[in-house]
Amino acid sequence: MDMPTLQHDFDPVALVVDWLDACRGRDIDALLDLYAPQATLECGCGEGKTCESRADIAAYWRPRLVAFSPDAFGLEEIAPSADGVVLDYLSFDGKPVRVSFTFDDAGKIRQSRCVPVAQPA
């Protein structure tokens, strides 16, 4: 007899707020704990980068959490999307960024993709 699949209830918007809080607090361990073990991070800002392991994600975030601008990780807008959550925020260097998050069934970040947000002239 097949056992029913348990659905894990979580608030994806609250998880993204926790992500921002971990960034503001420079807490790399708390930040990494929000990602699923097989998570990917795709950064379309600057040089562009894809991280496909916890070690890669840690290497990506460590220098960004060490030295960030005073207005870094400021929340601009957050909204649920068809696939997860979209967050507009100020990056570690104070530039506007949009990041899209998708989640696994356990309530962990499966993928994050960031791109710069065009600033009005």
Q: Mind listing the pLDDT tens digit for each residue in 79-101?
A: 999 999 999 999 998 999 999 99
CA distances from 89 to 3, 8, 98, 114 (A): 42, 27, 7, 10
Residue with tokens 């990041």: 99
Residue 2: band (very low, low, confident or very high) from pLDDT cuts 50, 70, 90 = very low
Domain assignment present for 79: yes
The domain of 28 spans 12-116
Residue 64: partners with Cβ closer than 8 Å, 6 or more residues away: 91, 92
Domain assignment present for 32: yes
Q: How many domains does the structure of the chain reveal? A: 1
Residue 111: phi, psi to the nearest 5? -150, 140
Domain assignment present for 7: no
Domain assignment present for 4: no
Residue 121: band (very low, low, confident or very high) from pLDDT cuts 50, 70, 90 = low
Domain assignment present for 6: no
